[in-house]
Structure 1
Amino acid sequence: MKRVYNIDVLRGIVMIIMALDHVRDMLHVTAITQQPTDLNTTTPVLFFTRWITHLCAPTFVFLSGVSAWLSMKRTNDVRASRLFLLKRGLWLILLEFTLVGFGLWFDVHFTLFIFNVIGAIGVGFMVLALLIARSPKTIAILGLCILFLHNLAPLVPGDDHSLFKQLLMPLFSPAAYPLGHGRLFIIGYPPIPWLGIMLLGFAGGRLFELETITAPSCKPQASSNTPLRGSRKQRSLFLRIGIAAIGLFILLRVINVYGDPVRWAQQKNGLFTVLSFINVTKYPPSLQFSLLFLGIMFLIAAAIANVKNKWTELVCVYGKVPLFYFVLHWYLLHPLVFAMVLLQGFKSSEMVFGFNFGRPKSGSGLPLWAIYVVWIAIVTAMYPLCKWYGRYKERNKGKMWVRLL
């Protein structure tokens, strides 16, 4: 299947931003003890360092739905598409609890199993496989119902300890379950809210085919800084969708009644009041969170619609191999945690794994400016690896395992 250049660029942007959050989470001096969006303890720079990365997960999940649509449309084989989505979904769930899980924790005892974004996408693909024969309109309605109504789940009557609530709520909100022998299973990305975003991506997949170009490579055309002909309609549509989504977010946020479990409030000054206004809930992704960041995603999509230049060419390299990038960057990042700890004078016996990522209980970490330096270094180091794998993937696209990674 030929790739849609705009999708690769958009995905590449969020993959680059994503690495910033992971570097901060593992290396920042206050990462273990402080929530960067806690307005009682944060700074504006730290807040926005975390806040901007909220764009990544909803964009990645939405574009996974778009890619599923484009794949089905071009093969024109519902049965084959269903089988591929089931295989890919199972593969992603397996990957979540093996290569990704080990890269995240570096714990040979596997004491923590966390169901995160890769697992949520895997479940989404499997559900989408069951719905794939339905019309895009039906899937869009289902996605919108989930998006707008899943915040009502906590209001379902019943005792919190009832079997019904214990089985239902982990589908809608984070949960943790002890597995015995010191092991813990955590649902960080409850599948239902993220499924709604994926279904909307699938239903909206045709928008990314509208007057767009497909490109097997990431090489720019000669007129590198000028939008290509035929992009105006797509850009206008993306712009209107983005503005509408953000406008609805602002309306709901001003009303301050529904769409996010945490209401905004006046703070110690105007800047922190603005931070409170945009400080929406990601776990699970609230309606207001989804509207805001999907709206921003569409604005970015409008800005890059069929634009080809040296910068989009560079970003495209990352966007063509997102899963490869996601898995591998943990294995570049986590050894830096150990190097930091040892260089700061701690002993290996003081390393605490699990939620501490191998850092001591206190005293280790880098200042925020150094986090940005390490982030740029990680992204730079990933470039030749992604470029190599992108070429390998293009030469071997008929192999199933290559399609899955």
Structure 2
Amino acid sequence: MEIIQKRIQSIDILRGIAMVLMALDHVRDYFHITAWTDDPLNLETTTPALFFTRFITHFCAPTFVFLSGTSIYLQSLRKTKSELSVFLFKRGLWLIFVEFAIVNFAWTFNPNYPLQIFQVIWTIGISMFILGFLIKLPYNFILGIGLLIVLGHNLLDFPEAVSGFKAGFWWDLLHHGHAVFYPINANHSAFIFYPFLPWTGLMMLGYCLGKLFTPEFSLAQRTKLLKQLGIVLLVLFIILRGINIYGDPLPWQYQQNNFYTFLSFLNVQKYPPSLLYMAITIGMALFALSFLEKIENRFTNTMVVFGRTAFFYYILHLFLIHFFALINYFINGHSIAAIYDFSTKYNIPFLGVVTTDGFGLKMVYIIWIVVILILFPICKWYDGYKTAHKEKWWLSYL
């Protein structure tokens, strides 16, 4: 049991790092001066600092989804297949509900719910639901399907790139959609950010990685395999990106200088996550995971807290960041009445956010640090509460 706990702690450290970086990206969304008027990865207008502020947060969603799969495998060591399947069905449906009822409100602060945004919690939920069906199948079958999806889904880029291609709602939801609006009625729309197919494949592979965290593998064997897998994925990224034909729908291009050409080389697609996006992010994650079991210090102990309370943290950090944005809105002299006025291009559907009220990157980092400092004691309390009340079944859903 001690060995298993130690292994889980390394996973929680990595998950915690991903959660902390995720907050940086969301603070940038609400507070950076160009967050709603330009892409931080636009090589014609970005700066290296802004580019890497966005790029390092690419690590978050795939790590979150991948390690969710790993955690499911670890649960399979304590539950029967039937018990785990039922749990995944219920947990998946619960996460989908949370996305549309709670997370969407946290993003918009609009009780009318004008946007139903399909984001990371939705994709984790639907992927868990699908895995609930697959969980009774042989391990190698799940591994094979996961590899087929992750390695092969970019083949769909070719028909999607044909002139005149029209995806439609279900196809966008499956693979193609990126910031795509679908009107539901006059006042409500669906907004697809996370098509689920590649994310589901990634969760399957995360599930299969969980086998390394069983007594079947020693610490030395696991560390070696994690490092090797990480290197393989990073080498795969370099080779396929260099060939510039397959693995990402947007080829890299020569820029005004070598450094910006390097940035173009790194600039891979997140929505939907391309093979190369998953290769570089999960490659780095596995390489980091190979070292984390051997490290214990104040930093890792802090990250464990965020990792063990990831879902609780995720909900809280969205409300807290948006609350700070609302304070900034009123400090800048805007009225309550104007908050619902979208007739001006300066107001966006996330209430209390005006595009002209943003800050530079330095202030973004300051606000991010404040957010993390506020959330840590709350998450630490919740972690202690969960540990002391393991008999409460509902805590497994939070």
TM superposition shift of 1:294:
0.5
* Change over 3 Å in CA distance of 1:97–1:78 after alignment to 2: same
Question: Matched residues in 1 for 2:251 and 2:159: separation?
Answer: 20
Aligned to 2:126: 123
Summarize the alignment of residues 26-45 of structure 1 with structure 2, pairs less than 5 Å apart.
Answer: 26-45=30-49
Unaligned runs of 5+ in 2: none
Question: Matched residues in 2 for 1:329 and 1:362: separation?
Answer: 21
Question: Matched residues in 2 for 1:124 and 1:364: separation?
Answer: 37
1:370 alignment partner AA? M
Aligned to 2:275: 287
TM superposition shift of 1:309:
2.1
TM-score where L is the length of structure 1: 0.91
Aligned to 2:15: 11
Question: Does the residue aligned with 2:271 lie in a helix, a strand or coil?
Answer: coil
Question: Matched residues in 2 for 1:362 and 1:95: separation?
Answer: 28
TM-score where L is the length of structure 2: 0.92
* Change over 3 Å in CA distance of 1:355–1:54 after alignment to 2: farther
Contact 1:210 1:234 in 2 (8 A): no
Aligned to 1:68: 72
2:93 alignment partner AA? L
Summarize the alignment of residues 1-400 of structure 1 with structure 2, pairs less than 5 Å apart.
Answer: 3=5, 4-75=8-79, 77-156=80-159, 160-161=165-166, 166-174=169-177, 175-209=180-214, 231-351=219-339, 355-359=348-352, 361-400=354-393
Question: Does the residue aligned with 2:42 lie in a helix, a strand or coil?
Answer: coil
Aligned to 1:224: none
Question: Matched residues in 1 for 2:348 and 2:143: separation?
Answer: 37
* Change over 3 Å in CA distance of 1:101–1:362 after alignment to 2: closer
RMSD: 2.0
Unaligned runs of 5+ in 1: 213-229
1:13-57 Cα distance to aligned partner (Å, 9 max, x none): 111111000000011111110110011111110000000000000
| Structure 1 range deviating more: 93-102 or 168-177 | 168-177
TM superposition shift of 1:168:
2.8
* Change over 3 Å in CA distance of 1:101–1:166 after alignment to 2: closer
Identity over the aligned pairs, expressed in percent? 40
Moved over 6 A (4+): none
1:236 alignment partner AA? K
Question: Matched residues in 2 for 1:154 and 1:231: separation?
Answer: 40
TM superposition shift of 1:210:
5.5
* Change over 3 Å in CA distance of 1:390–1:21 after alignment to 2: same
* Change over 3 Å in CA distance of 1:350–1:271 after alignment to 2: farther
1:82-137 Cα distance to aligned partner (Å, 9 max, x none): 00000000000000001111111111110000111101000111110101011221
Contact 2:173 2:194 in 1 (8 A): no
Question: Matched residues in 1 for 2:157 and 2:182: separation?
Answer: 19
TM superposition shift of 1:68:
0.6
TM superposition shift of 1:359:
4.2
Contact 1:211 1:234 in 2 (8 A): no
Question: Matched residues in 1 for 2:241 and 2:158: separation?
Answer: 20
1:197 alignment partner AA? L
Question: Matched residues in 1 for 2:60 and 2:394: separation?
Answer: 25
1:123 alignment partner AA? I
TM superposition shift of 1:347:
2.9
2:57 alignment partner AA? T
* Change over 3 Å in CA distance of 1:13–1:166 after alignment to 2: closer
Aligned to 1:221: none
Question: Does the residue aligned with 2:181 lie in a helix, a strand or coil?
Answer: strand
* Change over 3 Å in CA distance of 1:118–1:355 after alignment to 2: farther
* Change over 3 Å in CA distance of 1:361–1:372 after alignment to 2: closer
1:144-185 Cα distance to aligned partner (Å, 9 max, x none): 1001111122444897348xx553342012143101122110
Give the total of aligned pairs: 385
Question: Matched residues in 1 for 2:215 and 2:122: separation?
Answer: 30
Question: Does the residue aligned with 2:248 lie in a helix, a strand or coil?
Answer: coil
TM superposition shift of 1:345:
2.8
Aligned to 1:227: none
TM superposition shift of 1:386:
0.5
Question: Matched residues in 2 for 1:49 and 1:211: separation?
Answer: 39
